[in-house]
Amino acid sequence: MRTLSEHLGAERPKIATILGSSLGDVAAAAGAPRSIAYGEIAGFPVPKVSGHAGELIVGTLGGRQVLFLRGRAHAYENGNAAVMRPAISALAESGVTTLIVTNAAGSLDPKLRPGSIMLIEDHINFSGMNPLIGETGDQGFVGMTEAYDPALRMRFLKAAKQEKIALAQGVYVWFSGPSFETPAEIRMVRQWGGDAVGMSTVPEVILARRFGLRVAALSIITNLGAGIEGAAPSHDETKREGAKAAADMTRLLESFMREAGDV
């Protein structure tokens, strides 16, 4: 089995994008696409959840060469918060310098409705897990003060303005899943200052910072959190609403790539 660098050959994209639940079709906008199954890349975890294809696309978007990861493995699949470590390590080794992470999330604010996009400005790790547990030496002491790169966030805000896409900003709260949050948990994290909840992204961001990558992250809001206006989230709702917002996410990413400058 070949490494990611061996699969890429002379191609060395600087930007990689992890496409979350039901956002895999964003990669359909890539020009000159080439597909590599995760199972063919040494160390890449193969997702076991519907809505995550487990396929890497090498292509162009907005005039830039980009790697699209169609789907992710989740910590809840086997209890391993570092399940995406081999993939993110391989991205760094292949020359990627910027990672854009997307996900489907539940809103903690009734004003942030399904179909909205939220730019993550910070996170709360409620899971009790960390992908760097067991790290040897001092490399696990990763600073997270500006984990979500301020300059990249400004570029996304500019792209959203150009595309006339409403782009909220907020704090993402990571629950381990796979069960959805209770109404009491939702009330609690709203008081903590959370704006959206989900079951991914945070371990990938921690790992990306460990390997020196710049990070930006976006949530598609697919539902209201449990108990808000009587909401009772489901995986089917997540997939359905996520797919509806894929077109706006594609336009936002394409505009960002056109203006990405030296990332």
Query: One of 7, 21, 22, 81 is an active-site residue; which one?
Result: 21
d(CA 190, CA 79): 26
d(CA 195, CA 190): 7
d(CA 6, CA 13): 13
Query: One of 5, 35, 40, 77 is an active-site residue; which one?
Result: 77
Query: One of 38, 76, 148, 172 is an active-site residue; which one?
Result: 76
- The answer to whether the CB of 59 falls within 8 A of the CB of 75 is no
Q: Is 223 a catalytic residue?
A: yes
d(CA 199, CA 22): 14
Query: One of 82, 223, 245, 249 is an active-site residue; which one?
Result: 223
Query: One of 16, 29, 52, 121 is an active-site residue; which one?
Result: 52
Q: Is 257 a catalytic residue?
A: no
The per-residue DSSP string of 58-119 comes to EEEETTEEEEEEE----GGGTT-TTTTHHHHHHHHHTT--EEEEEEEEEESSTTS-TT-EEE
d(CA 226, CA 182): 6
Q: Is 235 a catalytic residue?
A: yes
Query: One of 94, 103, 125, 200 is an active-site residue; which one?
Result: 200
d(CA 41, CA 87): 9
Query: One of 75, 105, 168, 199 is an active-site residue; which one?
Result: 199
Q: Is 199 a catalytic residue?
A: yes
Query: One of 92, 104, 118, 159 is an active-site residue; which one?
Result: 104
Q: Is 10 a catalytic residue?
A: no
Query: One of 40, 130, 235, 237 is an active-site residue; which one?
Result: 235
- The answer to whether the CB of 104 falls within 8 A of the CB of 222 is yes
| Eight-class DSSP state of 182 | P
Query: One of 53, 74, 147, 181 is an active-site residue; which one?
Result: 74
Q: Is 76 a catalytic residue?
A: yes
Using alpha carbons only, give the angle 163, 167, 171 rounded to the nearest 5 degrees. 155
Q: Is 146 a catalytic residue?
A: no
| Eight-class DSSP state of 42 | T
Q: Is 172 a catalytic residue?
A: no
Name the residues annotated as catalytic.
Answer: 21, 52, 74, 76-77, 104, 199-200, 223, 235
